[in-house]
Structure 1
Amino acid sequence: MTPLVALKAARDVDQPAFISLLDEDRVQSTSDGPLAGIPFAVKDNIDIAGVPTTGGCPARDTPATETAFAVQRLLDRGAVPIGKTNLDQFATGLVGTRSPYGACHSVFSPAHVSGGSSSGSAVAVALGVVPFALGTDTAGSGRVPAAFNGLVGVKPTRGLVSTRGLLPACPSLDCITTLTRTVAGARPVLDALVAFDEADPWSRPAPALLPPGVARRMRVIAVPDGPLDLDPEHETAWQEALAHAARVGHVVRVDVTPFLAAARLLYEAAFVAERLAAFGHLLDGPGVDPTVRSIVRGADRYSGADVFAGLHELARLRRLAERAFTGADALLLPVTPGHPTLAEVAADPVGVNTRLGTFTNMANLLDLCAVAVPAGSRADGLPFGVQLLAPAFADGPLLDLAARWTGETVAPPATRTLLAVAGAHLSGQPANSDLVRLGGVLHSRARTGPGHRVYTVDGPFPRPGLLHTGDGPAGGIELEVWDLPEAAIGALLPTIAPPLHLGPLTLDDGSTVLGFVADTSCADPARDITAYGGWRAYLSS
């Protein structure tokens, strides 16, 4: 698809996906870079020089003087913007209807909302007008329209993509995001977008190594330990998604209460005051959506003390939410509880929108990265989307997991020496610092293959002994696989006290790695802790 063909297709779209289109003389590649000649669309709260950045408000008709840092990164690699897309005004909404330019709808149903606030960007990609589009995601504005249009929506870690040149909604939380039809389609775009921008106070450089506790290969997926409040059609699709998760990786159940409580803070506490600080001066001008005005003006009732009370509560919830990732790589949640119609939003614009943010509002508050991916269809034919969430800077491994979810090919990561640990060397346990000191990084969370049992053993500190007895549980025993420099194995050997030693260990995926194993002298029934499923669970008991 050439940029000119995309421009023509954009003119023919039968719903208000675009607010403005560029002139034909601007729709041409100026570089032979890796994205040369690829057309894309830009949400109209992100600057392109010479084009007004309306933010969904027609009164903002002055052309931008500079191009946003993120857009310029794409231009430098040859990508070609063709126009600016519709949005919930000032990026305040998850429905895609709060725009004087008209309401977008899902490409799967004219009766159902497209989702917002990146409504037009999602429609442009879902209709095939462009291969990718930029959106933003402060509270779910990139993930919700992705889910409602059968797309992949990538919300990077806050600060990985510069927001300089973005009309702010909540500057401390805003993220520029991508909407594509596949995970593979998002990768080269994100490679171009991710860069430290010293002129952006919210920019953060990507770390050279993955943070502690983040695996290079994500295999353990956390899911809620109880039912969720979902519409019936969504509930059925969610159960199918849970079954799919068990095929993609190993599933563990976690308490998601802290995540849901943090999500409520965004609009039900003083955090909404950041929107008032960011664009409150625009609310009294012409063309402002009354719902947007009432939501943001509602922040007037909060005091400075309320802001700090909210920050303290968020810190408490963040600490609780971190526990979900102790033994898991990513958290799986639906993107939304349901898919409302345009009529339902018109009847209750605030209530319906609030419910849509149940599972998305907390991602940036808790400093998570996220990818929304398609998860089949509901019984009524509408697309169903789920999201994978992980700690900050886990973007690369999370994209690989998202690709495996969608059935796309993932290149295996390069490895050095893999070592399986099941006790004191696990993340957060006393001897884990030895692995880190030796240059180790967490490769993956895993389980043993069937037939293993685990026993407590004597030694300088509490530790388990893994033994293949042939009669262990089919589901295996919890462990972690660490990627170490070859020299590290030699450095570890003197620290391993009998009856433990290093030997071959078969994992649940059929592969064999070096691991901490015990000799047969450990097989004392009185010390058998296999029923706990792993060392952490035993310690917790």
Structure 2
Amino acid sequence: MTLPAMLQIDEILAAYRSGMLRPTALVTEVLERVDAYALKDPAVWIARAERDTLLARAAFLETQPVDSLPLYGIPFAVKDNIDVAGYPTTAACPDFAYVPQASAEVVARLEAAGAIMIGKTNLDQFATGLVGTRSPYGQPHCVFDDRYVSGGSSSGSGVAVAAGLVSFSLGTDTAGSGRVPAAINNIVGLKPTRGALSTTGVVPACLSLDCVSIFATSVADALKVETQAAAWDSAAPYSRPMQHHALPQQTFRFGVLAHKDRFFDGDTQNADLYEQAISRCEALGGVAVELDYTPLRETAELLYGGAFVVERLAAIEPFFTAHEAAMDPTVAGIIGSARNYSAADVFRAAYRQHELRQVAAQMWQQFDVMLLPTMPRIVSRAEVAAQPVAANSLHGVYTNFVNLLDMSACAVPAAFRDDGLPFGVTFVAPAFADHDLGLLAGRFHAASQTGAGLARVAVGAADEAARPAAEGTLRLAVVGAHLKGLPLHYQLEQENAVLVRTTRTATDYRLFALPASTPPKPGLFRQPGFEGPGLEVEIYELSAAGFGRFVASVPQPMAIGRISLADGQEVDSFLCAEAFASKGQDITALGGWKAYLQTRQAG
């Protein structure tokens, strides 16, 4: 089987299940693609896995059932400021390089889920930049036109996905590095809630703000990866258990820039495309509300225009002191400017940040999400060479504030310009809205009909959600101890159950931790009129016989009945009598059983 142009996760998994593709064949073709693309752009990778290593990994996976691992045989790339055991971590600075013995927590989790790490990708040095040109390993360029930058700092990670070399990649995002390369290369860039993905094993840029980000060809793929990567980590100082901030999907309010705040640096075509994006969002059921960009603009200026730059120095100060001359001059100049600030300046900046957070928090009373241009326009490599700081700053006009204000974001393609370059927008929402924000952004992406990446292959708003159950099978939603990784999951494995997707219930369900249950388990019941966040569930597909055996083993007070999901579909699920469940602890607000278990562990 010839691999599809864009390596979408479900398409690859379907080929594995059918026997048309095996991991060893995928690795062989991916390596051929990587070699071929290197002739066009040799700066995408800093280090690549050896062919024999990749084939050995693929051969091992072929000894495992396809559906035993959610990312079985899925190729991915890792930004080279994130540790992968046995590979140098350079942060695009050769003098800084070290070889870690252990992989970063996120990498370890993705490999445990079956993914295959193809290599380490290029970046703006020490993740300082939004252009992708600040690297001694070369300058990756836009996949559509080599006169233009790829976007940074996660430059190689964005290009690797857009060129069809991997299914997804990891970047980092402090000021917009997980979103700008997505816009320039016609792919999705998911910036999770800060702390949802562990930063253990990640070279810090600004530790209090850093996020591990995800590039993919669809929002559905990005959310699949986030589901596997997200976990509370006691070793990461800013780690937080994933929660759920619900967003309306059918009728929603979205904040847009007032005309006076629409800055495109003279690019009238991008201004028109933003207006078209607003209209498309309205067609999806949204109501546009003008937002006041003033506090967001001031917040954005804090990141590089004030004392927050001191945190970049704090991250690498011993190295910087000894090796400043060996660094990229622009990066060294930015980090070195931290010496102009006092400790009092840092505290004053932090105070102002929190004042602006209070202002921004009130904005969510006016609308549910924001719809912003990802950037005013794409800058050329020649512009960056002439004005390295000014050109870079142009890319961050609409991105820099997000982490400072503790928001989630998802960048998606919106249109193509007359000159063949893409235009992208970013949906921004409160912290922990990752899932629901992704659903909305995915609908927008599908409606935009831009496809994804270099091949511009069409993507759907929903994949597995729309696929009917296979003939002779039934679907079951599990909410508690049968979730993957929990004590009773083996009962599903015994019936060869296949994970279809992770989603949420409708909002009128409640979840209680049942008293004195072994192993610990929750009780789910419906309360008409109740408005909650919806509860996380995993949907499995079982044979009819396997479903019957499974249901027969369900003990009292549990039962199997129909529930409604967030997208309106109905499916069988575990339910519990309200009178019994309500004797336990109400954990509905946490959004699911795993979130509750993480909270207990954190406590």
Alignment pair present for 1:238 and 2:238: no
Amino acid at match of 1:243: S
Query: What is the aligned partner in structure 1 of residue 169 from structure 2?
Result: 133
SS at match of 2:94: coil
Q: Distance in 1 between matches of 2:212 and 2:505?
A: 30
C-alpha deviation, 1:274, in angstroms: 0.2
C-alpha deviation, 1:287, in angstroms: 3.6
Query: What is the aligned partner in structure 2 of residue 64 from structure 1?
Result: 100
Query: What is the aligned partner in structure 1 of residue 571 from structure 2?
Result: none
Contact 2:197 2:230 in 1 (8 A): yes
Query: What is the aligned partner in structure 1 of residue 304 from structure 2?
Result: 267
SS at match of 1:387: strand
Alignment pair present for 1:161 and 2:176: no
Contact 2:219 2:441 in 1 (8 A): yes
Q: Distance in 2 between matches of 1:81 and 1:190?
A: 16
Alignment pair present for 1:98 and 2:98: no
Q: Distance in 1 between matches of 2:172 and 2:332?
A: 20
1:476-533 deviations in Å (ceiling 9; x for gaps): xxxxxxxxx999xxxxxxxxxxxxxxxxxxxxxxxxxxxxxxxxxxxxxxxxxxxxxx
After superposition, the Cα gap between the structure-2 partners of 1:366 and 1:183, relative to the gap in structure 1 and judged at 3 Å, is same
Q: Distance in 2 between matches of 1:275 and 1:57?
A: 15
For 1:130-209, list aligned pairs within 5 A.
130-207=166-243
C-alpha deviation, 1:417, in angstroms: 4.8
C-alpha deviation, 1:133, in angstroms: 0.7
* Range that drifts further, 320-329 or 1-10: 1-10
1:42 pairs, out of 78, 88, 110, with: 78
C-alpha deviation, 1:65, in angstroms: 1.3
1:60-97 deviations in Å (ceiling 9; x for gaps): 34322111100000110110001100000000000000
Identity of aligned pairs, percent?
45
Q: Distance in 1 between matches of 2:306 and 2:251?
A: 34
Per the normalisation by structure 2, the TM-score is 0.68
1:292-314 deviations in Å (ceiling 9; x for gaps): 00000001010111111111111
Query: What is the aligned partner in structure 2 of residue 83 from structure 1?
Result: 119
Query: What is the aligned partner in structure 2 of residue 441 from structure 1?
Result: 532
1:186-242 deviations in Å (ceiling 9; x for gaps): 1221111111111111110012xx34x754767221112233110323212212212
Amino acid at match of 1:259: L
C-alpha deviation, 1:3, in angstroms: 2.4
Contact 2:507 2:533 in 1 (8 A): no
1:250 pairs, out of 282, 287, 302, with: 287
1:382 pairs, out of 412, 415, 421, with: 421
1:340 pairs, out of 357, 379, 382, with: 379
Alignment pair present for 1:5 and 2:96: no
Q: Distance in 2 between matches of 1:21 and 1:415?
A: 44
Amino acid at match of 2:532: V
Contact 1:3 1:38 in 2 (8 A): no
SS at match of 2:240: coil
Q: Distance in 1 between matches of 2:247 and 2:421?
A: 34
Structure having the higher Rg: 1
SS at match of 2:70: coil
* Range that drifts further, 283-292 or 111-120: 283-292
SS at match of 2:259: coil
Amino acid at match of 1:302: Y
Contact 1:236 1:378 in 2 (8 A): no
Query: What is the aligned partner in structure 1 of residue 263 from structure 2?
Result: 229
Contact 2:194 2:406 in 1 (8 A): yes
Amino acid at match of 1:325: W
Alignment pair present for 1:394 and 2:419: no
1:252-278 deviations in Å (ceiling 9; x for gaps): 222121111101110011001000000
Contact 2:191 2:211 in 1 (8 A): yes
C-alpha deviation, 1:415, in angstroms: 2.5
Contact 2:73 2:115 in 1 (8 A): yes
Contact 2:96 2:319 in 1 (8 A): no
SS at match of 1:327: coil
For 1:289-304, list aligned pairs within 5 A.
289-304=328-343
2:360 pairs, out of 306, 311, 321, with: 321
Q: Distance in 2 between matches of 1:405 and 1:216?
A: 11
Query: What is the aligned partner in structure 2 of residue 451 from structure 1?
Result: none
Contact 1:142 1:179 in 2 (8 A): yes
Amino acid at match of 1:415: A
1:106-138 deviations in Å (ceiling 9; x for gaps): 001110111000000111111101111111101
SS at match of 2:410: strand
Per the normalisation by structure 1, the TM-score is 0.75
SS at match of 1:332: strand
Query: What is the aligned partner in structure 2 of residue 24 from structure 1?
Result: 51
After superposition, the Cα gap between the structure-2 partners of 1:101 and 1:441, relative to the gap in structure 1 and judged at 3 Å, is same
Q: Distance in 2 between matches of 1:4 and 1:306?
A: 54
C-alpha deviation, 1:11, in angstroms: 2.5
Contact 1:233 1:380 in 2 (8 A): no
Amino acid at match of 1:260: R
